[in-house]
Amino acid sequence: MRKKIDRIRPKSIKQRLRSSYFIIIVMLISPCIFSWIFLNVLTNKYNRLITNIEEANRLNIIVKSDIPSEMWSIVVGHKLFDESNQYVMIGRIDHALSNLVNRTNDKKGKQLIEVAQRAMMTLTAYVDKIGVQINTQERVAESEKTLEEIRGVSVLVSEVLQEFIRVEIEDIGRVNQSIQRITLVSTLLVATICALVIGFAVIGFKSVNYKIGFPILKLEYMARQIAEGDLSVRAEEPEVEELKDLTHSLNIMAERIKVLIDCSIEEQRKVQKAEMKALQAQITPHFLYNTFDTIVWFAEQKRHQEVIRITLAFTNFFRISLSKGKDWITTAQEIEHVRNYLIIQSIRYGDILDYSIEIDPHLNDVPMLKLLLQPLVENAIYHGIKNKRGLGFIHIKGWQEGKWSCFCVEDNGIGILPEKLESLREMLRQDDVLPDMGFGIYNVHRRIRLYYEGTVGLWINSEYGEGTQITFKLPITKGDRHV
């Protein structure tokens, strides 16, 4: 009879707490494992897509710029065909395209890369043809025709790569949606676990006395505050010895969660800055060919002063663009950069483009993020002035308002329709890419908001048929900001 009573004796508080802790730990670990597995898979896919986009951008520059430039040097006699690097560059492109095919799971993406590979075969054939023409000493005009074919194929490959990048970006959007769904599921699991933990707390409250129950209620309150986002809450050390280690551990957990969240936010900011630096590389290089063509044309016409002027402007333009890898330059350097750009463009477009620059001298030594004005001027030329007949005029202004430096780029181009203007403003508010105006304005807007906390970015005013005005404000910073 005694043995039977012992057999049905209820569990001790220690045993119940041990069982409860075991169940709680299992429930807490389960969503972590679930989230870790799926998020790890999606993160790997995301990183692969980013790698594909970066690789495609690099190939785009080589195909669109380096190969035609190398072949042009061969055709005009600056380099020997057998001593040039055209086949090395083609080999690198073919190898990179093969890697993209292997890394890309999207069917359309694979098809686009295969189209690019076939186009590269055609480009290689034209390169071989120039080699034959040079060896057989055919007329330079024939080689120039073949060079035009090479440029056409290069443009085709570049367009295919741009389409591939768009497809990969769409895939990134789908990955992001999957992450959001997994986050929602994880949240529901955590909410369910919290409800179960509360149930266990009620059972434990009924099974223990006041000295144990009251400290547990304090710990439960702390856990609820942490779940609601208050990571500053801490629990006092209880009188019950068995709960001292638990209280201490919970306080450490809250502190570590706070540290991890802060580290995660900082890492995300670094990732965003790295992505924007990758996009920043697309701001200036696209007008290289036109500038070089202009220099060559002036040289052929023996207009040496124009050659000297545009070459100096071109050199200074890229000297400031590179800035020894620095992100921050003085306002005077930024203005010199945009002035060199306008010199190049005004020489190219002759008497259809004029400009003026008015900058408050007090802003000259103020540090600012580089490459903010040139993309806006470029946008004014290509999306405003070139779409309207008559003399185009660009006015750049800079002035100081208290602790802010203010800038404005104004043109008398075609302007923007009212409904489209409102749509563009909404896209800027939501940090969306402007589809009809390229990455230039979008890049400047995002970089201002990223590097200058508390700023609103760009503001666009326009009247269709009259012109466009883009303004922004930057806080005047102390120190050199690595200028």
Per-residue H/E/C for the chain:
CHHHHHHCCCCCHHHHHHHHHHHHHHHHHHHHHHHHHHHHHHHHHHHHHHHHHHHHHHHHHHHHHHHHHHHHHHHCCCCCHHHCCHHHHHHHHHHHHHHHHHHCCCHHHHHHHHHHHHHHHHHHHHHHHHHHHHHCCCCHHHHHHHHHHHHHHHHHHHHHHHHHHHHHHHHHHHHHHHHHHHHHHHHHHHHHHHHHHHHHHHHHHHHCCHHHHHHHHHHHHHHHHHHCCCCCCCCCCCCCHHHHHHHHHHHHHHHHHHHHHHHHHHHHHHHHHHHHHHHHCCCCHHHHHHHHHHHHHHHHCCCHHHHHHHHHHHHHHHHHHHHHHCCEEEHHHHHHHHHHHHHHHHHHHHHHEEEEEEECHHHCCCEEECCCCHHHHHHHHHHCHHHCCCCEEEEEEEEEECCEEEEEEEECCCCCCHHHHHHHHHHHHCCCCCCCCHHHHHHHHHHHHHHCCCCCCCEEEEECCCEEEEEEEEECCCCCCCC
Q: What does residue 132 show for φ and ψ, rounded to 5 degrees?
A: -65, -45
Per-residue confidence (pLDDT) for residue 26, from 0 to 100:
73
The pTM for the full model equals: 0.46
Could you give the CA distance from residue 351 to residue 466 in angstroms, rounded to a whole number?
Answer: 19
What stretch(es) of the chain map to CATH 3.30.565.10? 282-475
- What count of other Cβ atoms lies within 10 Å of the Cβ of residue 440? 23
Per-residue confidence (pLDDT) for residue 249, from 0 to 100:
80
Per-residue confidence (pLDDT) for residue 410, from 0 to 100:
96
Per-residue confidence (pLDDT) for residue 399, from 0 to 100:
95
Per-residue confidence (pLDDT) for residue 397, from 0 to 100:
96
- Please return the burial class of 306, using the count of CB atoms within 10 Å of its CB with bins 0-12, 13-18 and 19+: middle
Q: How far is CA 222 from the centre of its chain?
A: 39
Per-residue confidence (pLDDT) for residue 455, from 0 to 100:
86
Per-residue confidence (pLDDT) for residue 438, from 0 to 100:
54
- CATH classification for the domain delimited by 282-475, as one of 3.40.1710.10, 3.40.50.10680, 3.30.479.30, 3.30.565.10: 3.30.565.10
Per-residue confidence (pLDDT) for residue 111, from 0 to 100:
86
CA angle 358, 280, 403 (to 5 degrees): 40
Per-residue confidence (pLDDT) for residue 434, from 0 to 100:
55
Q: Taking a C-beta distance cutoff of 8 angstroms, is the pair 145, 75 a contact? A: no
Could you tell me the fold of the domain covering 1-208? Four Helix Bundle (Hemerythrin (Met), subunit A) (1.20.120)
Q: Taking a C-beta distance cutoff of 8 angstroms, is the pair 242, 18 a contact? A: no
Per-residue confidence (pLDDT) for residue 373, from 0 to 100:
92
Per-residue confidence (pLDDT) for residue 141, from 0 to 100:
83
Per-residue confidence (pLDDT) for residue 196, from 0 to 100:
74
What stretch(es) of the chain map to CATH 1.20.120.1730? 1-208
Residue spans of the chain under pLDDT 50: 1-13, 271, 274-275, 278-279, 281-283, 482
